[in-house]
Amino acid sequence: MAFKTTRPLRFGDCDPSGIAYFPSYLNILVGVLEDYFASLGFPWKVLVDDRRIGVPTVRLDVTFVRPGFQGDELEFVLAVLGIGRSSLDLEHQVSAHGQVLWTARHRVVSTSLDTHQSLAWPDDIRAALTPHLETTNAHHPAT
């Protein structure tokens, strides 16, 4: 089950010609990921401050298809492709006006903010992520 949300492409996200500046896309993507975890019941403030869990990006492969423009309403679809011991493989599709602007394959890893080492997904977080898997047998315990 994919997570869907929208974000406006604001003036500050664009270059002087009104075309989306790609680093802004990545900043917006982090906000979408943060909202996804909050929708599961794990807001990042709780993960970071109380549970001392980080979720850094370790791999990101982005394909830009067409430009986005200031004022576009970006439609994000986040799909969970796999859950490893500490990793989470995601796929993003970002559209505006019914056309795909860009896609991304994204891996994040659960880490301890105290030791800065990978950390197995806690059982409650794994249980919340599992129903969102897009494929069966997508748990990868070795990763």
Q: Report the run of H or E that residue 84 belongs to, with start and end.
A: strand 73-84
DSSP letter assigned to residue 102: E
Q: Contact 103/92 with Cβ under 8 angstroms?
A: yes
Question: Of the candidates 111, 110, 132, which has an alpha carbon nearest to the alpha carbon of residue 39?
Answer: 132
DSSP letter assigned to residue 72: -
Question: Of the candidates 128, 80, 89, which has an alpha carbon nearest to the alpha carbon of residue 107?
Answer: 89
21 φ, ψ to 5°?
Answer: -90, 120
From 15, 61, 114, 124, the catalytic residue: 15
Looking only at the bridges linking them, the beta strands covering 111-112 and 87-96 are: unpaired
Q: Is 15 a catalytic residue?
A: yes
Residues with catalytic roles: 15
